[in-house]
């Protein structure tokens, strides 16, 4: 199943596929595919079932086919962090008269290294600093991310290249009616199980709920795969008997099933310590689902005063809000639903209008 960053990449491929070429890159070595092979590559990405044999054949043909084209008014659109640190990559694009534009999703490994795997901080610093030195332009997914990027550039004594903020549209948007996956009241947490998402605190809250409410305990649905540095969460999930019947894991959840889970949830719970954007928040609000969220600047940027915000360390506060939102006649939930009527989610059309204007400006 695609991650959030994968979804952004696919949105870019879908938007520009008719006028774009595919670039293969590994360890800074890159190859630009022909028009036909590019279209074949894009088609492969959108197939429901991807053939490994077809992908290998495409790779073999592209590697063996000579490619020495140069371009005019061409731009490399690179939408993940992988490969940003390879100077050879930038130079190969420059040699072909291609401007390099990279998307920056977050600077979390630099600002909150304690939530990342060992070694990620230095690797991400190299990525960001290389992009600051050599990219022709940078796309930030939020003003919060761009502000963090500016602070890092200032700290490192580097000049910020031309930039634009283009917010990301939700990946799950259809609010068409769907049956509830569960009759019991429930809440949803959406995202990879990793330290900064704060699953551990929520599981402690659910243990307290189970101890006090018994069979009336609302369910917690965790949508997302188990990630890294999360052994204490795994211990709770596998060995804490009081929450055994109250917590449901959905490791591989289709978009259709995710939409069903969200539509009938009492609320999305988003207690992260730090985020670069917050796609689950946008997706929930776009579906008309209330959100209980950490009091983060980027969430205020995206959602204004619609969610109920809490400190990510305020266990009693989360406990009280979850109990209140569980009630069928919850005044707190009704108040947020009233605020939610004014929410207008970002769209991909708006995103690409910002991006296209920005790309044009690079050639002025």
Element (H, E) at 5: helix 4-16
Q: Has domain 186-340 been given CATH number 3.40.50.2000?
A: yes
Given a contact cutoff of 8 angstroms between Cβ atoms, the answer to whether 325 and 293 are in contact is no
Give per-residue pLDDT as tens, 137-167: 999 999 999 999 999 999 999 999 999 999 9
SS3 sequence, 125-171? HHHHHHHHHHCCEEEECCHHHHHHHHHHHHHHCCCCCCEEECCCCCC
> Mean pLDDT in each 10-residue stretch from start to end of the chain (364 residues)?
83 95 91 90 83 82 78 94 95 95 97 93 97 98 97 97 96 74 95 94 96 95 90 90 92 88 97 95 95 98 97 97 97 97 94 97 92
Please tell me the predicted confidence (pLDDT) of residue 67.
Answer: 72
In this prediction, residue 22 carries a pLDDT of 94
We find that the CATH architecture of domain 4-169+348-361 is 3-Layer(aba) Sandwich (3.40)
In the chain, ranges of CATH 3.40.50.2000 domains: 186-340
* Structure confidence at residue 158 (pLDDT): 98
d(CA 284, CA 268): 7
pTM equals: 0.92
pLDDT digits (tens, 9 = 90+) for 173-192: 666 678 899 999 999 999 99
């Amino acid at each position: 199943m695609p991650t959030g960053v994968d979804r952004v990449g696919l949105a870019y491929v879908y938007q520009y596929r008719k006028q774009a070429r595919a670039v293969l890159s590994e360890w800074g070595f890159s190859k630009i595919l022909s028009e036909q092979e590019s279209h074949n590559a894009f088609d492969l990405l959108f197939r429901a079932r991807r053939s490994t044999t077809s992908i290998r054949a495409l790779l073999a043909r592209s590697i063996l086919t000579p490619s020495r084209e140069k371009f005019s008014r061409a731009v490399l659109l690179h939408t993940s962090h992988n490969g940003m640190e390879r100077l050879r990559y930038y130079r190969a694009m420059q040699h072909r008269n291609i401007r390099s534009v990279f998307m920056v999703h977050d600077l979390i490994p630099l600002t909150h290294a304690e939530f990342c795997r060992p070694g990620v901080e230095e690797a991400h610093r190299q990525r960001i600093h290389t992009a600051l030195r050599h990219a022709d332009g940078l796309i930030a997914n939020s003003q919060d991310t761009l502000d963090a990027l500016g602070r890092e550039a200032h700290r490192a004594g580097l000049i910020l290249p031309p930039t634009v903020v283009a917010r990301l549209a939700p990946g799950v948007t259809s609010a068409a009616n769907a049956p509830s996956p569960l009759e019991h009241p429930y809440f949803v947490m959406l995202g990879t199980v990793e330290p900064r998402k704060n699953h551990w605190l929520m599981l402690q809250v659910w243990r307290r709920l189970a101890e006090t409410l018994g069979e009336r305990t609302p369910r917690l649905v965790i949508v997302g795969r188990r990630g890294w540095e999360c052994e204490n969460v795994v211990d709770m999930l596998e060995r804490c008997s009081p929450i055994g019947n109250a917590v449901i894991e959905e490791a591989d959840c289709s978009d259709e099933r995710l939409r069903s889970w969200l539509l009938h949830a009492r609320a999305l719970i988003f207690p992260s310590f730090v985020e670069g954007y917050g796609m689950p928040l946008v997706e929930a609000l776009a579906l008309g689902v209330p959100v209980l969220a950490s009091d983060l600047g980027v969430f205020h940027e995206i959602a204004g005063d619609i969610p109920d915000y809490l400190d990510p360390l305020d266990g009693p506060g989360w406990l009280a809000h979850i109990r209140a939102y569980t009630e069928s006649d919850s005044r707190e939930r009704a108040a947020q639903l009233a605020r939610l009527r004014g929410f207008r989610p970002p769209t991909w059309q708006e995103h690409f209008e910002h991006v296209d204007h920005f790309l044009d400006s690079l050639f002025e």
